[in-house]
């Protein structure tokens, strides 16, 4: 199977990039050889994986700087999946380089009006990149959804109206995602406490693969 590189990007900070990258990588590692890459100088992903006592292969992280192309090309052919956590700036040169090499992009967006506008900006960047990387697929992923919150429903409708490619699957606001981060584990390692969160992550993976 050809290596599939998945970039997790957003224009805004705190939308859940690191949470999504870490847990999606855990789910993908059940399907094939998966490498997590931290392209964010904040290094949250690297710190997260350094906390956990158990260190499954899925949580080992490679940190990259400006050597993005070298790193991604080096992993191609070695891994089935490469998942990259990015800094909150889609016009950052590292993110640009990565988008030219990736096959898939996930854009976590929170259920707020401001996030709708920031995702419009992200799509314009994707359109520019697609002039060169024609097969790049990008999806908005609603994160921190609340089942009884009307805003979550309104968001999905608003994004679709703007012709944004929104995944049908979304990630709910769940304590398990926060607890996992504190414990340095992924939600698959949390047993029953993580079951609902794992269902969210699995639904996303099934939809993007």
Ligand X SMILES: Nc1ncnc2c1ncn2[C@@H]1O[C@H](COP(=O)(O)OP(=O)(O)OP(=O)(O)O)[C@@H](O)[C@H]1O
- CB neighbours of residue 78 within 10 Å: 10
What are the structure tokens assigned to 67, written together? 């050597």
Spell out, one character per residue from 10 to 49, where the chain touches Mg ion: x when CB under 5 A holds, - when not: -------xx-------------------------x-----
Residue 16 binds to ligand X (criterion: CB under 6 A) = yes
For residues 44-83, which are near Mg ion according to CB under 5 A? Answer: 44
Q: Give me the sign of the Cα torsion angle 147, 153, 155, 161.
A: positive
Counting residues that bind ligand X (by CB under 6 A) gives 20
The residue ranges of DSSP E strands in the chain, in sequence order, are 4-8, 34-38, 61-63, 81-85, 104-109, 137-142
For residues 100-139, which are near ligand X according to CB under 6 A? Answer: none
Figure out which of the listed residues 9, 11, 17, 186 binds ligand X, where binding follows CB under 6 A: 17
CA–CA gap between residue 29 and residue 205 (Å, rounded): 11
Q: Which residue stretch of 27-35, 53-61, 147-155, 172-180 sits at the interface with ligand X (rule: CB under 6 A)?
A: 172-180
Residue 14 touches which of Mg ion, ligand X, none (CB < 5 to 8 A by kind)? ligand X
Question: Any idea what the Cα angle at residue 78 is, between residues 76 and 84, rounded to 5°?
Answer: 55
CA–CA gap between residue 90 and residue 126 (Å, rounded): 9
Residue 143 binds to ligand X (criterion: CB under 6 A) = yes
Figure out which of the listed residues 100, 130, 173, 193 binds ligand X, where binding follows CB under 6 A: 173
Q: Looking at beta carbons only, is 50 or 70 nearer to ligand X?
A: 50
Figure out which of the listed residues 144, 152, 186, 189 binds ligand X, where binding follows CB under 6 A: 144
CA–CA gap between residue 177 and residue 19 (Å, rounded): 7
Q: Rule CB under 5 A: which residues touch Mg ion?
A: 17-18, 44
């Amino acid at each position: 199977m050809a290596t599939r590189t998945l970039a997790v990007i957003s224009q805004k900070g705190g939308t859940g990039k690191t949470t999504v990258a870490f847990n999606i990588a855990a789910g993908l590692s059940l399907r094939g050889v998966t490498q997590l890459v931290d392209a964010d100088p904040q290094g949250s992903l690297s710190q997260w994986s350094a906390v956990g006592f158990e260190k499954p292969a899925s949580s080992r992280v490679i940190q990259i700087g400006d050597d993005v192309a070298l790193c991604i090309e080096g992993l191609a052919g070695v891994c089935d999946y490469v998942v990259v956590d990015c800094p909150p700036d889609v016009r950052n040169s590292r993110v640009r380089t990565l988008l030219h090499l990736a096959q898939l992009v996930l854009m976590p967006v929170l259920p707020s009006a401001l996030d709708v506008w920031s995702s419009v900006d992200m799509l314009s960047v994707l359109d520019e990149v697609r002039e060169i990387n024609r097969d790049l697929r990008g999806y908005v992923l609603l994160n921190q959804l609340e089942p009884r919150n009307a805003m979550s429903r309104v968001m999905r409708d608003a994004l679709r109206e703007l012709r944004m490619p929104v995944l049908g699957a979304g990630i709910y606001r769940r304590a398990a995602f926060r607890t996992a981060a504190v414990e340095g584990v992924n939600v698959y390692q949390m047993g029953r406490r993580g079951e609902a969160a794992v269902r969210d992550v699995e639904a996303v993976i099934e939809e993007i693969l």
